[in-house]
Structure 1
Amino acid sequence: MTTTLVANAHAVDASGETEGFWMLLDGDRIAATGSAADRTCPLEAPGRHHDGRDGLGGALPAADTVVDLGGARLTPGLVDLHSHGGGGASHDGGPDEIERGLALHRSHGTTRSLVSLVANPIDRLRGSIEAIAELRRRDPLVLGAHLEGPFLAPHRKGAHAEQHLAVPSPENVDALLGAAPGTVRQITLAPELPGGLDAVGRIVAAGAVVAIGHTEADHALAVAAFDRGATMMTHAFNAIAGIGHREPGPVVAAISDERVTIELILDGVHVHPEVVRMVFASAPGRVALITDAMSAAGSADGDYLLGELAVTVTDGVAVLSGTDTIAGSTLTQDAALRLALSAAGQTPVSAVEALTLTPARAIGEADRLGLLAPGYVADAVAWTDDWHVSRVWAAGRELTDGR
C-alpha cells in the first residue's frame, strides 16, 4: 500500500495542540504519529526504516510521499451527521446527486457524512435507503443514512411535507430499518407521537441512534425519551421548544444528561452565537456542529427544492418560498468552524472537537474517527492561517475538488 508522511504541522484535535506534528498514512489508516519534541520515531513497522529529515523534527519514518506543511494547522477530517445536499444537488435525488453534494462538502473539509433524508412515503424512503447502502459499499466515506423524517410532529414539521409524516409504529419502524440492514444510523423522532417512546427502544435495539427533534415534547417527556435510549437532539432550538424559566423544555433535558449529544447549526441564523457559547459551556464535549445543508450550499441564491417543497435562498438564507420558515442551511462545516472560533468564542481544540470526535462518538465511531492518532482513519484537513481549507485527505488519499 502507498504510504504518505505528512509532517511539520500544527496539529489540533480533541486531545490538544501539537507543534511540529507528523503522521504516517499507510493505506486508509494512520500508522504512526509523533512530533519535533520526540527523540525517536514511536513505531517501526516491519520492512521499514527511519531516516532523519532536518527541519521536520526528530527521526521520521520513510514513506513513498512526503508532504511538508510548513507549520500549517492540521485537524482530523470533519464529520457531519446531518446534511441534505450541496453544490446544487439534493440527497433525496438519488446516488448521482448524493455524490455531487458530498463532493461539495468534502472540498470544505467534511470527509465522513451521514446522508440525511426528509420526510417521504415509507416506500420511497426504503428506496433511498437501499441506494445509500449501495453507495456506501463503494464509498467508505459515507457513514450511512439519517432519517430526519417521517416521525415528526405536524406542528413542528419545519421544512418537511406534512402529507408524508407518519407515526413510528412497529411496522413503519421495521420497514425502514429493514430496507438495507445497518444502513440507517440515526433517526429523528418526536416522542409524543403514538408509540413514540416504544419506538425509541425498538430503534436503539436495532443498532441505530435516536435523536429527539421536530417535537412538542416538554422537559419531562424528553427526559423519558432519553431514559428509553435516545442519545441525541436534532438541531437544538429549531423545530423544538426553547428554554423557559418555569418549563425548562427539552433542550435543558439534553444539556443535563451526560449521555446526550446536542446538534447545533452554527451559521449565524439558526442559533445566536451567544446561545451557542452557552451550550458549549453547559455541555462540554457534547456539542456536534452540523450543517443541515440543503442543495444550495456552495451555490448561488435562487429557487431550489427541499424534498417536494419550494425553497428560496436570499443572501445565503434558505426559507420555504413565501414564508419565513427556515428550510435547512447553506452552511459548510469549515464556515461553522470559523464562526465557532470567532462569534462563539471557542478555543481551536473545542471547536475542532465539535466537528470531529463528538459527532463520531455520537454514532459509535469514536474508536476510528475524529483524532489524529495511530489506528484512526487517514482523514485530515490542512488549513490556512485564517482557517480556510487548504488540503484534504480522506481514507489516505488526497482529494481534489472533493473527489
Structure 2
Amino acid sequence: MADLRIDPDYSSPEASDNEGVSDLLQHSGLSSPSSVISEAAFSHSTDARLVHFVNAVLVDNGTAVPGELWVDVESGLIVSPATARDIINKDTSVEVQTVDLEGDLISPGFIDAQLNGAFGFDFSDDKYGDGSHEAFEAGLADVSRRLVKTGVTSYCPTLPSTFKHVYHKVLPHLRPKRTAEGAESLGVHLEGPFLSPQKPGCHPPDAIMCAPDGIETFKDVYGEENLKDATIITLAAEQDGVMDTIPDLAKMGITVSLGHSVLNYTGGCTAVQKGASMVTHVYNAMRQPHHRESGLFGLLGAQNRDLDAAQNEVPRRRPKAPLVYGGYSAEPPVEVKKDLRPFYGIIVDGIHVHPSCVRIAYHSHPEGCVLVTDAMSPMGLPSGVYAWSTQTIRKEGLKLFLNGTDTIAGSAVEMDISVRNLVEWADISLPEALKTVTTHPARAIGVLGRKGSLNVGGDADLTILSPVGEVKRVYKLGRKVYQATARPPVMIAPSQDSGMPSPRISKPMTSF
C-alpha cells in the first residue's frame, strides 16, 4: 500500500505571515466561527475577494504537506499570506471566505493533454447541432462545464486526422481561453493528419497525408494563424517532408509529439535531436517494443548520448510568451532540462495498455509520464452506437470501437479514475501519481507556473480530493465550479477473453 508522504514536522516558510493574517482577520471580525464554512454549506458563487483554505494538505510536484492556501478571486490567482494581508490592510471591508477542508487534499487542477471530446460533443465536428458557429461554441462550453467533475480544469482539445475545411472551421474556436466558467482550452492538440498510413488507428485513412512542401504544407492544411495557436502536434516523422518540419514547429513553441508512427529507435532519436519532446499514447499506434528494436518506446530508456545532438539543434520547445494577470507574471524562468528523454502520454484505462505495461513505462521514466484520457465524444454517455466524423463508434461500457470492428477508438475513461489506476498499477503514492496530471503535462507544453502547480502567482485552478483520490470539489480561478454528490463507483469490465484484469478504481491510502 502506497502512503501519502507528509512531513509531520513541516512548517510553512511564511508561518509568521499566516499568523499575522489570522490575527488581522480576528481583529477585523472576518474570521468569526460563522465565516468558517463547511463543505455542505459552501455556495457555488461568492462575493468574497479572498478565499482562505485551512486544515488542508497541499499536494504539489509529488509532495504532500499540511498547510493553508490563499486565493484572490478578483485576479483568479494564488497569493501569498503577505499579499492577502496587504489586500486586507488596504481595505478592511474586503470579504474573506475561510474554507475548512478538514484534512482533504488540495491539488493543482488536472490537465488533459489529449481529449477528443466528451458528453456527446466532438471537437472535430464541424456540423455539430445546426452547423453554426454558435452551436459549436455552445457544445464546447457544455463540455468545459461538465469536465470539471473529473478534476480536469485545463485541457488540449484534440483533433484526430481530418480535412482542411474542417480544420479551418473549428480551430478558431479552440484557441487558448482563460475562463472561470469551467475547464479551459490550453490550445489545440493536432493529432494528424501527418501520420503513417501503416498506423492509422481509428483515423480515417483518406485524411492521412504527407507534407511534400514541408512546413508550408502544415500552414496550408491547418491555416497559418491556426497553426500559430497550436500547442501540440502529433506526427509520424518518417512521412515524406515531415521530419524537417520539427525544428520549425519547435521554434513556434509547439510541443512536437511522435505517434501513429513506424519509426524505429534510431529514427526516434533523430526526431528528438530535431526538437520533438513527447510521444503520443505510448504503446498504441506505434512499432511495438522488441528486445532487438525498441521503437519509439525505447526513447523512455534512452541515454543522453543518443539524444545529445538536440542541444546543438533547437530547444526541446520554446515556451510561449508568459501571460500576465493582475500584475503577476506566473511564467517561471526557462528550465534547462538535463534529461533529454521526451515526455510520453499514456492511457491508463486497463484497455489500451495492460497494467503491467503501465508499470514498466512509468518506472522506466517517471518524470516523463503524462496521463491522458484520449476520451472521445461518447465519454459520459450510455453504451450504444454514435456518429463520429465519417464513421461510427460502438460504446460498450468504457470501451470504444470503430463500429463493426475490434479497432479501439479512443477511450471513455475519466481522468480521476486514471490517476487512481496509476496509484494501484505502478504502486506509487497519490502525490506521485498527481504529478502526471499536473506538473508533467504543464511542463511538457510550457505552462508550468501558470498551470499545474500551487505556486504563488499561478492560476487558482484547484482540485480538492479525498485521501483516496476522489474528486470532492473543483475551483476555477478561485471560484467553485463543482461540488461532488454521491455517485455509484465506475468499474471497467474488459471482455472475458481479453486477459486484462479489471482495474481497481481506488486504493486505500493512509489517512493523516
TM-score in same-fold range (> 0.5): yes
Question: Which residue number corresponds to residue 126 of structure 1?
Answer: 168
Find out whether 1:230 has 2:271 as its counterpart: no
SS in 2 for 1:247: coil
Question: Which residue number corresponds to residue 13 of structure 2?
Answer: none
Query: Does the CA-based 8 Å contact 1:86-1:102 persist in structure 2?
Result: no
Query: Does the CA-based 8 Å contact 2:277-2:343 persist in structure 1?
Result: yes
Question: Which residue number corresponds to residue 194 of structure 2?
Answer: 151
Question: Which residue number corresponds to residue 192 of structure 1?
Answer: 238
Question: Match of 2:117, as an amino acid?
Answer: G
User: CA separation in 1, counterparts of 2:374 and 2:429?
Assistant: 23
> CA 1:318–1:120 in 2, change beyond 3 Å: closer, same or farther?
same
Q: Which has the higher strand share?
A: 1
Question: Match of 1:351, as an amino acid?
Answer: A
SS in 1 for 2:226: coil
Tell me the CA shift for residue 401 of structure 1.
Answer: 7.2
Question: Which residue number corresponds to residue 136 of structure 1?
Answer: 177
SS in 2 for 1:281: helix
> CA 1:293–1:204 in 2, change beyond 3 Å: closer, same or farther?
same
Tell me the CA shift for residue 254 of structure 1.
Answer: 3.9
Counterparts of 1:174-185 in structure 2 under 5 Å?
174-175=219-220, 176=222, 178-180=224-226, 182-185=228-231
> CA 1:269–1:131 in 2, change beyond 3 Å: closer, same or farther?
same
116, 132, 154: which is aligned to 1:84?
116
Find out whether 1:304 has 2:381 as its counterpart: no
> CA 1:369–1:249 in 2, change beyond 3 Å: closer, same or farther?
same
SS in 1 for 2:386: strand
CA deviations 1:239-296 (Å, max 9, x no partner) are 0112111112111124426331010000111111221112221112110000000011
> CA 1:23–1:280 in 2, change beyond 3 Å: closer, same or farther?
farther
Find out whether 1:160 has 2:200 as its counterpart: no
> CA 1:112–1:255 in 2, change beyond 3 Å: closer, same or farther?
farther
User: CA separation in 2, counterparts of 1:371 and 1:8?
Assistant: 19
SS in 2 for 1:201: helix
User: CA separation in 1, counterparts of 2:71 and 2:397?
Assistant: 42
Tell me the CA shift for residue 189 of structure 1.
Answer: 0.2
Question: Which residue number corresponds to residue 376 of structure 1?
Answer: 458
Question: Which residue number corresponds to residue 69 of structure 2?
Answer: 22
Find out whether 1:276 has 2:358 as its counterpart: yes
Query: Does the CA-based 8 Å contact 1:108-1:389 persist in structure 2?
Result: yes
User: CA separation in 1, counterparts of 2:433 and 2:72?
Assistant: 24
Query: Does the CA-based 8 Å contact 2:78-2:457 persist in structure 1?
Result: yes
CA-atom RMSD in angstroms: 2.2
Counterparts of 1:230-309 in structure 2 under 5 Å?
230-256=276-302, 258-259=339-340, 260-309=342-391
CA deviations 1:187-217 (Å, max 9, x no partner) are 0000110011101122112221110000011
Query: Does the CA-based 8 Å contact 1:126-1:179 persist in structure 2?
Result: no
SS in 2 for 1:107: helix
Counterparts of 1:103-118 in structure 2 under 5 Å?
103-118=145-160
Tell me the CA shift for residue 19 of structure 1.
Answer: 1.7
Question: Which residue number corresponds to residue 354 of structure 1?
Answer: 436
SS in 2 for 1:338: helix
Find out whether 1:69 has 2:115 as its counterpart: no
Moved more, 246-255 or 260-269: 246-255
Deviation >6 Å, runs of 4+: 137-140
Question: Match of 1:345, as an amino acid?
Answer: D
Q: List gaps (5 residues or longer) in structure 2.
A: 1-47, 126-135, 305-338, 485-512
> CA 1:295–1:11 in 2, change beyond 3 Å: closer, same or farther?
same
Moved more, 378-387 or 177-186: 177-186
SS in 1 for 2:189: strand
Question: Match of 1:206, as an amino acid?
Answer: M
Moved more, 163-172 or 351-360: 163-172
Question: Match of 2:239, as an amino acid?
Answer: L
Query: Does the CA-based 8 Å contact 2:349-2:421 persist in structure 1?
Result: yes
SS in 2 for 1:195: coil
Moved more, 360-369 or 271-280: 271-280
Tell me the CA shift for residue 368 of structure 1.
Answer: 1.4
User: CA separation in 1, counterparts of 2:291 and 2:435?
Assistant: 30
CA deviations 1:91-129 (Å, max 9, x no partner) are 123333222223332121100111101111123212211
Question: Which residue number corresponds to residue 259 of structure 2?
Answer: 213
Find out whether 1:317 has 2:357 as its counterpart: no
User: CA separation in 2, counterparts of 1:387 and 1:14?
Assistant: 16
16, 32, 57: which is aligned to 1:10?
57
User: CA separation in 1, counterparts of 2:165 and 2:179?
Assistant: 24
Q: List gaps (5 residues or longer) in structure 1.
A: 33-40, 51-61
Query: Does the CA-based 8 Å contact 1:160-1:307 persist in structure 2?
Result: no
Largest Rg, 1 or 2: 2
Question: Which residue number corresponds to residue 390 of structure 1?
Answer: 472
TM-score, normalized by length of structure 1?
0.89
Question: Match of 1:235, as an amino acid?
Answer: H
SS in 2 for 1:235: coil
